[in-house]
Amino acid sequence: MKQQTIGAQFSLEGKGLHTGLNIQLTFLPADENTGIRIKRIDLPEQPCYEATADLVTATQRGTVLQKGEWKVSTIEHALAALAATNVDNCLIEV
């Protein structure tokens, strides 16, 4: 099956919907079989995990992915946009 990534990196920034914190997301092309991965570059160890359903820990007011102390919230719109454009592989830095 042919896989797709984005053509070039791009960034978005603004206030977090529920936290009010200033957030920057950078979407980067990724190699085949990478999947959609989210990397927390604000944390010292910069953990990076594939965005999969087994990491969903909450769905009230937004989807939360969490593994240990690592957490990202309200990611459903970004993931839906990637799915709608048939992107299989992308690294999202938060």
Q: Residue 49 and residue 58: Cα distance in Å, rounded?
A: 17
HSE, CB side, 13 Å, CA atoms: give it for residue 87.
22
Q: Residue 59 and residue 76: Cα distance in Å, rounded?
A: 10
- Residue 42's contacts (CB-CB under 8 Å, 6 or more residues apart) are 94
Question: Tens of pLDDT along 29-88?
Answer: 999 999 999 999 999 899 999 999 999 999 988 899 999 888 898 889 899 999 999 999
Q: Report which of residues 30 and 20 the model is more confident about.
A: 30
HSE, CB side, 13 Å, CA atoms: give it for residue 28.
12
pTM above threshold 0.85 = yes
